[in-house]
Chain A
């Protein structure tokens, strides 16, 4: 709510400036056109003095939200109305310009800012109606002024409401971001401590053997799980670019699989969400294939490289390689092998999948345009 109040404060400061400007215009106008020619010149000077005094008083009064009560706003509007009503008596019944003139605008805007569009409408109707009713024969300009009053009040009121809402939302978002940053900082400290212990358990446990080795294995699994989660957490976006996914983080999570080592560039590598999820699915399929043909927990390496126009992913294992002719055989039997499916899916993304297989292992190289 403080943000909304700050917006209101600022708008009232603007109104205060405006009030002085329209006051100067009204006073100078009345003096130039000749207060001396009024039916009651002395009363005319009194009215101008009232405007000057009221301008000073409201500038002070509106400056603090505590004083911006209904009473002050009603009084503000009442003074404006009183000046309008006094005009035919003080000036002459067939007056052209009212004594306060545009000065009444300040009261209208105060209502609009304080009570939003409803306030703007109410003040506009009251001021406009009184102004028209006082005149014997309203001309086109008078009707035009009425129209502007009725239009201006609600519009300013509505915009003030929107501004306050936006400021409030921005305030909330800023506080949420600050809280998230602090949480992330604390989490890093916690994570580092936990990782230290897990790494130590893993190392010492492995040297003890037996049950210690089991503990070491568990600690190792947890360590890599936590590491991947931290990497994923770092990639959670707060700047709201929708539809873009960090494939570096997504592929990094594949490092959770036993035996899998993932290397990525520093920072985020963003791809459209659908491309990223398809690429991730294909890399996962490659790793599944390694597991099936080389063995569970068999070492495999994933490398992501980011170029201006494309990303390249390599998935490598050190298995025995794909036996000569096996792929062709699968194809001739009408089976769509895993490799065909991998190729097809990458080609659907507009990219290219290359397979090299030899006695020292198998490697998929996937190139996807961005």
Chain B
């Protein structure tokens, strides 16, 4: 897949940022098919624009970044969401990842880092920072440890990481690149990438199960079209 084919949508309420990101992406030959300044615009323009990658700021008016992530992925599960956040509000980033975002980048990242991240996310890779890996790791620890606030119910309800997945996620959180991890563990780059993606998938799956259970428990399943999120 070449760059020309990557269709990107940029969602950010700060015009200067939106323009800067759009310019950078276009200069690199990517196809910016839509821009939006808030959640409502994003959801309104997404279906017609059909972007492969949504570069999304979390702090936007209207439906926030987490809600937009969930909504666009429900609409088109093949789309990818890359979170580009200034504040890096931890809880929000984690929620967005649970909602299905597969990439996270802080806004001070360089243009090259942004382009690289967009290309990788478009390929289906997940783009982690050590900080995000630490958050995800912490979330799995929390879910599996009743002492630390997990539900402590039957373990089938908890997402469990394999030892290998934990090991790799931990190495990502310690700042090792996928390449370094592959070398140290004598694995292929692709295998490392797959393990990382599996951890995200498990977290997202757990999130969906939790949401469904919540909806059923609350008796909200009859009008779930309106009560998304």
Chains A and B form a bound pair: yes
By the criterion CB–CB under 8 Å, are B86 and A265 in contact? no
Q: Could you tell me the distance between the alpha carbons of A199 and B14 in the complex, rounded to whole angstroms?
A: 12
Min C-beta distance of B35 to chain A, whole Å: 16
Q: Could you tell me the distance between the alpha carbons of A210 and B186 in the complex, rounded to whole angstroms?
A: 42
Q: Could you tell me the distance between the alpha carbons of A214 and B184 in the complex, rounded to whole angstroms?
A: 37
Q: Does B55 contact A (CB under 8 A)?
A: no
> What count of chain B residues pass the 8 Å CB interface test?
38
Min C-beta distance of B18 to chain A, whole Å: 11
Q: Could you tell me the distance between the alpha carbons of A283 and B180 in the complex, rounded to whole angstroms?
A: 24
**Assuming the A-B contacts A191-B87, A198-B108, A303-B173, are A203 and B138 also in contact, with contact meaning beta carbons closer than 8 angstroms in the complex?**
no
Q: Count the A-B residue pairs with Cβ separation under 8 angstroms: how many?
A: 107
Q: Does B20 contact A (CB under 8 A)?
A: yes
Q: Could you tell me the distance between the alpha carbons of A153 and B107 in the complex, rounded to whole angstroms?
A: 68
By the criterion CB–CB under 8 Å, are A301 and B175 in contact? yes
Q: Could you tell me the distance between the alpha carbons of A204 and B131 in the complex, rounded to whole angstroms?
A: 24
Give the residues from 259 to 318 in chain A that come closer than 8 angstroms, CB to CB, to chain B. 261-267, 299, 301, 303-309, 314, 316
By the criterion CB–CB under 8 Å, are B86 and A266 in contact? no
Q: Could you tell me the distance between the alpha carbons of A247 and B132 in the complex, rounded to whole angstroms?
A: 18
Q: Could you tell me the distance between the alpha carbons of A204 and B109 in the complex, rounded to whole angstroms?
A: 11
**Assuming the A-B contacts A264-B138, A266-B94, A304-B134, are A316 and B145 also in contact, with contact meaning beta carbons closer than 8 angstroms in the complex?**
no
Q: Does B130 contact A (CB under 8 A)?
A: yes
| Residue on B nearest A191 in the bound complex, by CB | B87
The answer, among A263, A267, A314, for a CB contact under 8 Å with B131, is A263
Q: Could you tell me the distance between the alpha carbons of A196 and B147 in the complex, rounded to whole angstroms?
A: 38
By the criterion CB–CB under 8 Å, are A266 and B91 in contact? yes
By the criterion CB–CB under 8 Å, are B175 and A192 in contact? no
Contact with A along B75-87 (1 / 0, CB 8 A): 0000000000011
| Residue on A nearest B142 in the bound complex, by CB | A265
The answer, among B108, B147, B148, B180, for a CB contact under 8 Å with A202, is B108
Min C-beta distance of B146 to chain A, whole Å: 8
Min C-beta distance of B39 to chain A, whole Å: 15
Chain A residues whose C-beta falls within 8 Å of the C-beta of B214 in the assembled complex:
none
By the criterion CB–CB under 8 Å, are B86 and A195 in contact? yes
By the criterion CB–CB under 8 Å, are B147 and A308 in contact? yes
By the criterion CB–CB under 8 Å, are A266 and B135 in contact? yes
Q: Could you tell me the distance between the alpha carbons of A144 and B111 in the complex, rounded to whole angstroms?
A: 89
By the criterion CB–CB under 8 Å, are A303 and B16 in contact? no
Q: Could you tell me the distance between the alpha carbons of A193 and B86 in the complex, rounded to whole angstroms?
A: 8
By the criterion CB–CB under 8 Å, are A196 and B17 in contact? yes
Chain B residues whose C-beta falls within 8 Å of the C-beta of A266 in the assembled complex:
90-91, 94, 135, 138-139
By the criterion CB–CB under 8 Å, are A299 and B175 in contact? yes
Contact with B along A181-210 (1 / 0, CB 8 A): 000000010011101101110111011000
Q: Does A4 contact B (CB under 8 A)?
A: no
| Residue on A nearest B172 in the bound complex, by CB | A263
By the criterion CB–CB under 8 Å, are A199 and B108 in contact? yes
Min C-beta distance of B182 to chain A, whole Å: 13
**Assuming the A-B contacts A203-B108, A206-B110, A306-B138, are A263 and B20 also in contact, with contact meaning beta carbons closer than 8 angstroms in the complex?**
no
The answer, among A196, A200, A223, A308, for a CB contact under 8 Å with B148, is A308
Q: Does B141 contact A (CB under 8 A)?
A: yes
| Residue on A nearest B139 in the bound complex, by CB | A266
Q: Does B137 contact A (CB under 8 A)?
A: yes
| Residue on A nearest B86 in the bound complex, by CB | A195
By the criterion CB–CB under 8 Å, are B14 and A303 in contact? no
A-B contact pairs, 27 of them (CB 8 A): A191-B87, A195-B87, A195-B107, A196-B16, A200-B17, A200-B20, A204-B20, A207-B111, A261-B130, A261-B175, A263-B131, A263-B133, A263-B137, A263-B173, A263-B175, A264-B134, A265-B135, A265-B137, A266-B94, A303-B130, A303-B170, A303-B173, A303-B174, A305-B137, A305-B141, A306-B148, A360-B180
Which A residues form the contact surface with B (CB < 8 A)?
188, 191-193, 195-196, 198-200, 202-204, 206-207, 220, 223, 227, 230-231, 261-267, 299, 301, 303-309, 314, 316, 360, 363
